[in-house]
A and B are shown apart, each in its own frame.
Chain A
Amino acid sequence: MSRIFSFHGGIHPPENKKQSLGADIRLAPIPTQLILPLQQHIGKAALPCVTIGERVLKGQKIAEANGRISSSLHAPSSGIVTYIGPQPVPHASGLESDCIVIDTDGLDEWTALSPILDYQSMNKMDLINHIRDLGIAGLGGAGFPTDVKLHLGDDHIVNTLIINAAECEPYITADDALMRERSDEVLAGIEIIAHLLKPSHILIGIEDNKPQAIKALDHALRTSTLNIDICVVPTKYPSGGEKQLIQLLTGIEVPSGSIPADIGIVCQNVGTTAAIYRAIFKGEPLISRVVTLTGYALGHRQNYEALIGTPFTTLLEAAEVNRKALFRLVMGGPMMGISVNDERIPVIKTTNCIIAATKDEMPPAQPAQPCIRCGMCEQVCPASLLPQQLFWFAQGREFEKAKHHNLFDCIECGACAYVCPSNIPLVQHYRFAKSEIRTEEFEQQKASHARIRFEARQARLEREAAEKELRRKERAEAAAKQQAERKLAEAAPKEVSTDEEKATQLKQLKTAASVARTKLKKANDALKNAREKGLEGIDKLEATILLLEQKANEAQQAWIDAGGEQN
């Protein structure tokens, strides 16, 4: 057994794990309706690949992974897709998000599965793609797509694989029950991961409050040829935090802003390993998981194997909930979980626990009182931060300073709020500050994106204007050139070549001469009229007549010159 190190801080809240460990994992009933949120993992939401009205079989892919960090989704039971759209989802906001709803037919009819029995002889890339295709995501809590972690061996040297079986949060026993009953599946999953990542040693981190699980794992390990160590760590919350567990088992601290792979470590949750085993050896996609149903408002407090998409109502009823006693419904553990108000929300890939608590069990929060700077929060912070300082910055909206005090290293474990004698909801303050900073950064990004677009548009408009100006100039030049050419052509004496042209010209000249004569006549009439009536402008008329006479004569002359008299 290897040496166990320690991490800063930590607390020892009441465990409350016994309640749900009295019975074996029970199969939860198939609900009449399955609600499958498209976003159950970190990354981009999956894209639906079924249509409303389509019949789907158990295990059939219903939504495709969208992009590098994403996970696909499969039908947990056979039935008909009745709705694709917003539904309440398990999220702190209580908002709705896009889901695929399947009305189950109760037949639970499987689609054709493609298990891989001899995975060792298979191309690694194909193997990882197979895992990706079956929608495996981290079952520990964050829901990080597993295939991305399995690719880490490509650009990192992975020397340690850590299997997270600590399950440090009170009430939750899903991993414990899984290890007790399916330790062989867990081990087979570990072997597959080890085959892909080729670590030099493998550590299973498990808290000492799970003796039966340790025994079961120990038993399963006897058949394994791999270098696997079971590291039993003392029970302390939050030893199951990724960075905390790494520090416990290896003594190495993951630097701020880095991922464990940067120091050669990859962590996988124990539930994920079992899911990988099922994906490879049985070809089953991730369509069910172990969920702890606990809390004193329930009649049967135990672990259930529930289909992903099962509404909480179905599970609560299966566990014989006493609705009168039910005061608060919590998804996740009591430390990091979130209170939910809507019982219709479904189990997703990351739902490890549902607590139906009575009022005595989880009384309403005491009112927050002023911080007295006692420093207890600092002593328990597992990330070695200064919680009271971060609290002041968050409260005073000094987000820049909070960021410089490494707010983003906070894992939101809630240890500080647990020990706070003033009952300050510290984690809420940090979450608020984090989301404010994230929004601001997002807006900054959007603004610089808009600026780039604006400048590009400005440049385009200028270019277009310049091009237009250039074209206008070219046109003007061409027109001037044409004008000049025409003038040149007019100035040159016209050579009349054919008789026909001569005749037309003559005709034109004749018309011109007669028009000129008519005009002269009209002008003379007008003059006469003006003289008779004594109107003004006689001089002007006389001048016009003179001009017209001249023009008429010229026209006559031109006609005669052209040979008009002869005709």
Chain B
Amino acid sequence: MSSILIAIVVLLVLASVFGIILGFAAVRFRVEGDPIVEQIDALLPQTQCGQCGYPGCKPYAQAIADGDAINKCPPGGQSTIDALADLLDVDAIPLDAEHGEEKPKTVAYIREDECIGCTKCIQACPVDAILGAAKQMHTVIVSECTGCDLCVEPCPVDCIDMIPLPVTPANWKWPAPVSDPSLILTDRGRGQLLQGASQ
């Protein structure tokens, strides 16, 4: 009988000790905010373009955490979807065409002669990448521009172009080696021969 009592007492003591430790840890190591939202947000391209239908990347990250689809981000494209799928352990799905398509990276360019200095694009820019003042010519800080397109629409004189980033030796990427589809050496060139014969 006493052994049962001892067991119960020991278990109770253990339970209370661990309870205290857990309770302390819950207060001491409390995580502010939802860590998964932060992780999702870190994967999104931070263009803040709103093409997903949310007013920025963070709200979309929140929405994904709440169960929204992961394929609504055209600037991130397939690589972002893959990364999100990897993080959330769901299947990677193709980009939802409803929200736009994956385009090459662009930056905004203001045709400065035509700019009337209305400051509307400055107000639209989510990352403060446009410099200028009322009735003064505006210009884009290229290194800060995320290419979100948001400044194009408010411009009353349509003087903003989205131009693709130029490829320079500094940002040039090695291309993937193309693998030859004809695996057998003697097959090479046969397709051309056949084509030549049919003509």
Contact = CB atoms under 8 A, between A and B. Distances in A.
A434 B175 CA distance: 11
A447 B46 contact: yes
Interface in B170-184: 170-177, 179-180, 182-183
A457 B126 contact: yes
Interface in A54-81: none
Contacts of A368: 177, 179-180
Contact of A450 (B79, B127, B182): B127
Contacts of A429: 176-177
B79 to A, nearest CB: 7
B178 to A, nearest CB: 9
B177 A425 contact: yes
Nearest to B173: A435
A440 interface: yes
A454 B177 contact: no
Contacts of B168: 95, 97
A5 interface: no
A97 B175 CA distance: 19
B180 A92 contact: no
Nearest to B75: A447
Nearest to A461: B123
Contact of B185 (A89, A367, A428, A453): A367
Interface in B119-170: 126-129, 144, 146, 167-170
Contacts of A97: 168-169
A93 B169 contact: yes
Interface in A417-442: 425, 428-429, 431-432, 434-436, 439-440, 442
Contact of B46 (A39, A95, A436, A448): A448
Interface residues of B, number: 33
Contacts of B45: 443, 447, 450
B44 interface: yes
Nearest to A45: B170
Contacts of B179: 368
B57 interface: yes
B33 to A, nearest CB: 13
A451 interface: yes
Contacts of B176: 429, 432
Interface in B44-66: 44-48, 56-57
Contacts of B144: 449-450, 453
Nearest to B47: A450
A282 interface: no
A37 to B, nearest CB: 9
A8 interface: no
B174 A451 contact: no
Contacts of A456: 128
B18 to A, nearest CB: 36
A450 B177 contact: no
Contact of A432 (B170, B174, B185): B174
A446 B146 CA distance: 8
A249 B154 CA distance: 66
B40 to A, nearest CB: 12
Contacts of A453: 127-129, 144
Contact of B48 (A369, A432, A450): A450
A534 B179 CA distance: 104
A95 B174 CA distance: 12
A92 B168 CA distance: 11
Contact of B174 (A367, A435, A446, A447): A435
A257 interface: no
A95 B171 CA distance: 11
Contacts of A366: 185
Interface string A168-181: 00000000000000
Contact of B79 (A440, A446, A449, A451): A440
B130 to A, nearest CB: 11
Contacts of B128: 453, 456-457
Kindly name the residue among B56, B144, B172, B185 whose own CB sees the greatest number of chain A CB atoms within 10 A.
B172
A359 interface: no
A507 interface: no
Contacts of B99: none
A513 B135 CA distance: 55
A431 B180 CA distance: 19
B42 A448 contact: yes
B146 A439 contact: no
B111 interface: no
A311 B180 CA distance: 35
A184 to B, nearest CB: 38
Nearest to A453: B127
A456 B144 CA distance: 13
Contacts of B56: 454
Contacts of B57: 451, 454
B169 A367 contact: no
Nearest to B45: A447
A91 interface: yes
A432 B172 CA distance: 11
19 contacts: A39-B170, A97-B169, A368-B179, A428-B174, A429-B177, A436-B173, A446-B46, A446-B146, A448-B42, A448-B46, A449-B144, A450-B144, A450-B146, A451-B41, A451-B57, A454-B46, A454-B57, A457-B127, A457-B128
Top 4 nearest A-B pairs (CB, nearest first) are: A93-B172, A447-B46, A450-B46, A431-B174
